[in-house]
Amino acid sequence: SDQFDQKADDIIGKMPHDVLKIISASEVMADFSKVLSTGKRLTKESHIELKGQSVWFLVAMFPLKNELGEITSIATVARNITQLKQAESVLRKLSRAVEQSSASIIITDINGNIEFINKKTSELTGYAPEELIGKNPRIFKSGETLPEEYKKLWQTIKSGGEWRGEFHNKKKNNELFWELASLSALRDENEIITHFLAIKEDITFRKEMEGLLRSALDKAEESNKLKSNLLNNMSHELRTPMNGILGFASILKEEILDPIQKDLLEKLIRSSKRLMSTLNSILDFSMVESNGFELKLKSQSINQAIELVIPIYTEIAKEKDLVLIYNPKVKNAVSSIDERFLTQVLDNLVDNAIKFTNKGEIIITVDSAINDGKKWNLLKVKDTGIGIPEASSKVIFQEFRQVSEGTSRDFEGSGLGLTLAKKITEMMNGDISLESSLGKGSEFTLWLPATEADPGNNLNNIKQTIISSNEIKQFAEQPEGKANVLLVEDQMLNVQVTQLYLKPYCCMEYAVSVDSALKMVKNKVYDAILMDINLGLGMSGTQAAKVIRELPGYSKVPIIACTGYAMIGDREKFLKEGFDGYIAKPFEKDTLIQTLKDLQVGQKKN
Ligand code: ADP
C-alpha cells in the first residue's frame, strides 16, 4: 500500500486494476481467465506513469488452490523493477557503443585470456569472435615488439596504471598492421582487478602517410642539396672563364689606341658584364628560392648603409647624362637590415631607374611614415623615365616578367631584378610599393619597419669600390718598394690576367697547384696570397690557406680567396673560414687593387 499511496482498508474488496492502475481492467480480466484456464502462474512487465515518473513493475499472478486442486483465488504480486530497468538500459547503450566503436576493443580475464571482442576487432584482424574467445592476445604478435616492452606493459597494467603505445601486429592472413593501443585494468566494486581492457586504433594508414611524407621530405632535401651543388658549380664554371674574357678585354682596351678597336672592345666588355649580371640574378634568384641563405639583420642606419654607394650610382647615371640626387629627408633612419642585401635591392632599383630613363634625374630619398600604427622608414627611388602602365604594376614583381615582353621587347634584362628585390625586402620584414605615371616617371618605395639603433653596431662595413687613380698611384709608390704577392691559381688564363693587372703595383709570383704553393711559401714570406679555391685534385684552397696560416711568418699575412664561388653568402662563408679577404671572379682590376689596399698589403708595418 505504501508504494501506491493507498491505505489497506481502501484496497480490500477492490479489483487489482483499481488499486494498481498498472494494467487496464480488460487486461486484468484476460490475464485472470488465462490463469484460471491454465492453472499456471503468469508473469509480465508493466509500466505506468506515477507522479510524473516512469515506473516499471514485474507483475506475477499465482492461482491459489484448495485441497481438491480447484482455484479459489488469484494472488497478484507486483515488484518495482524501475532501477533494474534503468541499469539494463544503460548497459544496453554501453554495449552498443562498444560494439559499434570504430576502435577495436578487447577484454581479457586476469590471466590474459580473451573474454570479449567487439565487431571492429573481428573486421580488422579477420578472426571470428569464436576464434579469439579464450585465446591469448599474443595471437596478434608479429614478433617486432621486444619482450622487455611486453614485460613493462604487464607490470604497468597489473599495478593499475595505463599503458599506451604502438604495436605492429599480425592479422589472421598474416598481413601486418599498426595499432595505437591503450591498455588498462578493470576493477570490481572492491577495487580488485577482474579484467584487462584494450582499446586500440588502427593507425596503419597514418603510419604509411607518415612514411611517405618522410621519404618525400628526404627526397626534397636531397634535391635541394643537389640544386645548391649544381648552382655552385655553374657559378664557378661560368665565372672562371669570364674572368679571362673580361680581364683581357679591359687590359687590351688600355693598350689599344685605335678608336674603332677601342669601341669594339668596349662593346665586348659591356656584353660580358651584361652576361655576368644576368648570371648573377639567376643564381641569386635560385638561391633565394631554395631558401639557401639567411640574412644577417642588424639594427642600423639606412642612410649610412646607402651613402657609400651613392657616388657609384652618380657615376653610372652620368654616363647616360642623367643627374642623380641624394636627398635624405630623415638623417638617421634606423631599421633592422642586412646592409649588403639592402644595397643589392637599391642597386636593382637604381639600375632600372637609369635603364628606363632617357632624360632628367633620379632622386634617392630617405623618409619616414606611420602606417597601420607602425613607424616605417622609406627608401625611395624616383625617376623621370618612361613610367609603368597601371596594368603591369603588379606583374613586374613576378619572376621573368617585364612590361615589354616577347620578341618585340624594347629593353634588355632578365626580369628577375624586382622579384629578387621584393623577396629580399620581405626577408627584412618590409615591402616595396610603386607609383608611376606613364611617360612621366616612376617611384619605387622600400618600406622597412623602423627600429631602435643597436649601440654596438659598427656601421661602415661596406668598402667603396670606386677608387681614384691618385689612390692607385699611392699604392704603387710604396716606400719599401713593391709588395710580393703569391697567386695560387690553376687556370693559366687567370694567372695571366692577374699578372697584367698587378704588374704596375706588385711583384707577382704564381703557383698552379697547392703542392708547389706550399713549397714556395716555405722558402719565402710573401706580403699577400691570392688563393683560388677549386684547384683540381688534392687540397682545396681553403685547406691550403689553413696549412699556410700555421707556417712561420704567416700568422698575419693576408690570404685572399679569389674564387668563382660567388653566390649570395659565399663571401661570409670564406671570411669565416679564415680568409682575410674575398674577391669574386670575374674581378676587375680596381677591385683587386682595392682589396689589397684595404688589407694594407705592402704598407709599412709597425
Ligand atoms: P629587368 O629590369 O631585368 O627586366 P626587373 O624585374 O628589374 O627586370 O624589372 C621588370 C620590368 O619592370 C622591367 O623590364 C620594366 O618593364 C619594368 N620596370 C622596372 N623598373 C622600371 C622603371 N624605373 N621605369 C619603368 N619600368 C620599369
pLDDT at 292: 65
Compute the distance from residue 316 Cα to the ligand 1 centre, in Å: 17
Task: Tell me the C-alpha distance between 86 and 82, whole Å.
Answer: 6
- Mean of the pLDDT values across residues 119-136? 94
| Lowest model confidence (mean pLDDT) among 130-139, 202-211, 403-412, 533-542 | 403-412
Residue 458, pLDDT above cutoff 50:
no
Q: Whose CA is nearest to atom 8 of ligand 1?
A: 415
Task: Tell me the C-alpha distance between 497 and 202, whole Å.
Answer: 70
pLDDT at 479: 45
- Mean of the pLDDT values across residues 493-507? 86
pLDDT digits (tens, 9 = 90+) for 229-250: 787 787 778 888 888 888 888 8
Residue 463, pLDDT above cutoff 50:
no
352 lines ligand 1 (CB under 6 A): yes
Name the more confident of 431 and 589: 431
Name residue, grid cell 571470428. 128
414 lines ligand 1 (CB under 6 A): yes
| Lowest model confidence (mean pLDDT) among 46-60, 317-331, 365-379 | 46-60
pTM: 0.51
pLDDT band at 54 (very low <50, low <70, confident <90, very high): confident
3-state class (DSSP) for residue 602: coil
411 lines ligand 1 (CB under 6 A): yes
Compute the distance from residue 425 Cα to the ligand 1 centre, in Å: 17
Torsion of CA 455, 459, 461, 465, to 10 degrees: 180
Cβ atoms of 514 and 544 closer than 8 Å? yes
432 lines ligand 1 (CB under 6 A): no
Compute the distance from residue 433 Cα to the ligand 1 centre, in Å: 14
pLDDT band at 23 (very low <50, low <70, confident <90, very high): low
pLDDT at 244: 84
Compute the distance from residue 593 Cα to the ligand 1 centre, in Å: 33
**Which 8-state DSSP code applies to residue 525?**
-
**CB-based contacts of 413: which residues, under 8 Å, 6+ apart?**
355, 402
444 torsion bin: left (phi>0), alpha (psi -120 to 50), beta (else): beta
Name the more confident of 496 and 172: 172
Compute the distance from residue 351 Cα to the ligand 1 centre, in Å: 9
353 lines ligand 1 (CB under 6 A): yes
Closest CA to 310 of 258, 381, 260: 381
Grid cell at residue 242: 669570364
Query: What percentage of residues in the chain have a pLDDT greater than 90?
Result: 44
Compute the distance from residue 414 Cα to the ligand 1 centre, in Å: 9
**CB-based contacts of 150: which residues, under 8 Å, 6+ apart?**
none
Task: Tell me the C-alpha distance between 322 and 212, whole Å.
Answer: 58
Query: Which of 350, 352, 435, 440 for mutating ligand 1's site (highest number of atoms within 8 Å of CB)?
Result: 352
293 lines ligand 1 (CB under 6 A): no
CA atoms within 13 A on the CB side of 66: 5
pLDDT at 303: 93
Compute the distance from residue 350 Cα to the ligand 1 centre, in Å: 10
- Mean of the pLDDT values across residues 346-352? 93
Task: Tell me the C-alpha distance between 523 and 325, whole Å.
Answer: 54
Q: Whose CA is nearest to atom 7 of ligand 1?
A: 417
417 lines ligand 1 (CB under 6 A): yes
